[in-house]
């Protein structure tokens, strides 16, 4: 059993705790730190038996804590991952990993030097329907892959308080890229490998904030296929991921994390339908099992921390995802196609 400390007890930090607390035989939360120390934070800590630390550094010194789980704004991830690794703690980091390739490389270097486990919160990778899609693609059931595309939307930015990190361009550039789009980018990397170039446009249309709410990105993969990602933060919630091949196409439809959804919905309701449409013949509806993606990703991290199988996202793909994210932000600013370096 890995004893973990959660840093950040907002709505997502609380969701992570609820996924495993007192039900998992691999990971359990014993401590927490939160900047606000609000009444709600104290109630969450009391409900789950978490000892509230006065500062992040106290968690790093606590011998009862084996691992640090970061549910914090991404601009601080590099320094927090490095500090935790140097303290000998395993580290799980919520997405996005970092905003730049250099930051990701520094974090991974610290983890590898310390010999600790590193997990990353791209939980959709572990859902059985996603795993099945990847298996079918690798087996050639879709034929030659031509194109991947994803649309992810939610209305959350319409009601975000202006002080929230997701509301500000400095900490959440390109609107929904960090809270939503990076999941799809990681998914494309998982399914078809390295991204070669990106072209992005991002702008403001409707939200009462000084940030973008409408972002679209074109991808060219090193293997030759194309990709598209559309992200909006001021419309009805949708998730649709499509893969087009020369023999068939596949469609995953589901939900995004809308403010007000229950913890169980956020953890188990990501995919609602999964369909294969062959070139000839009728569509094939594939059963979508209920699966707690947060529990799955935390337990995969705990497995490596305990000396078992490696976490399913290789360090190189974590770094590449940050490099792609950095290039998208640059492209949205430059108006040019950007190479991934």
Q: What's the predicted TM-score (pTM) here?
A: 0.96
Residue 291 DSSP class: -
Q: What is the structure's pLDDT at 39?
A: 85
Q: What is the structure's pLDDT at 266?
A: 83
Q: What is the structure's pLDDT at 86?
A: 99
Per CATH, is 125-295+322-339 categorized as 3.40.50.300? Answer: no
Which of 184, 157, 186 has the alpha carbon at shortest distance from 169?
Answer: 157
CATH number of 2-123: 3.40.50.720
Work out the burial of residue 65: count CB atoms within 10 Å of its CB; fewer than 13 is exposed, 13-18 middle, 19 or more buried.
buried
Same CATH fold, 125-295+322-339 and 2-123?
no
- The CA-based angle 154-124-50, given to 5 degrees, is 85
Question: Which backbone phi and psi does 56 adopt, to 5 degrees?
Answer: -60, -40
The domain spans of the chain are 2-123, 125-295+322-339
Work out the burial of residue 111: count CB atoms within 10 Å of its CB; fewer than 13 is exposed, 13-18 middle, 19 or more buried.
buried
Q: What is the structure's pLDDT at 154?
A: 95
340/324 Cα distance (integer angstroms):
6
User: pLDDT digit of tens for each residue in the chain (341 aa)?
Assistant: 999 999 999 889 999 999 999 999 999 999 999 988 888 889 999 999 999 999 999 999 999 999 999 999 999 999 999 999 999 999 999 999 999 999 999 999 999 999 999 999 999 999 999 999 999 999 999 999 999 999 999 999 999 999 999 999 999 999 999 999 999 999 999 999 999 999 999 999 999 999 999 999 999 999 999 999 999 999 999 999 999 999 999 999 998 877 677 888 888 888 999 999 999 999 999 999 999 999 999 999 999 999 999 999 999 999 999 999 999 999 999 999 999 98
Contacts of 335 (CB under 8 A, 6+ apart): 201
Q: What is the structure's pLDDT at 41?
A: 86
């Amino acid at each position: 059993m890995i004893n973990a400390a959660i840093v950040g007890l907002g709505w997502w930090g609380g969701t992570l705790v609820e996924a495993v607390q007192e039900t998992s035989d691999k990971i359990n939360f014993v401590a927490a730190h939160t900047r606000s120390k609000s009444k709600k934070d104290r109630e969450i800590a009391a409900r789950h038996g978490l000892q509230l630390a006065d500062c992040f550094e106290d968690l790093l010194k606590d011998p009862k804590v084996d691992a640090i789980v970061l549910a914090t704004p991404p601009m601080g991830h590099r320094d927090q991952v490095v500090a935790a690794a140097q303290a000998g703690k395993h580290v799980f980091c919520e997405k996005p990993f970092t905003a730049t390739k250099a930051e990701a490389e520094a974090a991974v270097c610290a983890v590898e030097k310390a010999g600790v486990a590193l997990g990353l919160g791209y939980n959709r990778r572990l859902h059985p329907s996603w795993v099945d899609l990847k298996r079918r693609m690798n087996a050639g059931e879709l034929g030659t892959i031509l194109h991947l595309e994803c649309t992810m939307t939610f209305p959350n930015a319409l009601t975000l308080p202006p002080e929230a990190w997701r509301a500000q361009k400095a900490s959440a550039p390109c609107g929904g890229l960090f809270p939503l789009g990076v999941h799809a980018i990681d998914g494309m990397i998982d399914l078809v490998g390295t991204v070669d170039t990106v072209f992005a446009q991002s702008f403001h249309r409707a939200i009462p904030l000084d940030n973008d709410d409408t972002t679209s990105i074109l991808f060219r993969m090193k293997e030759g296929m194309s990709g598209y990602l559309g992200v909006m933060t001021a419309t009805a919630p949708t998730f649709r991921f499509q893969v087009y091949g020369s023999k068939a196409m596949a469609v995953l439809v589901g939900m995004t994390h809308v403010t007000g959804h229950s913890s169980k919905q956020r953890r188990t309701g990501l995919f609602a339908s999964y369909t294969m449409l062959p070139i000839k013949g009728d569509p094939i509806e594939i059963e979508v099992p209920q699966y707690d993606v947060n529990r799955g990703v935390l337990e995969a991290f705990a497995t490596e921390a305990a000396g078992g199988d490696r976490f399913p996202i290789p360090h190189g793909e974590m770094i590449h995802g940050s490099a792609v994210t950095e290039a998208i932000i640059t492209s949205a600013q430059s108006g040019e196609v950007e190479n991934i370096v």
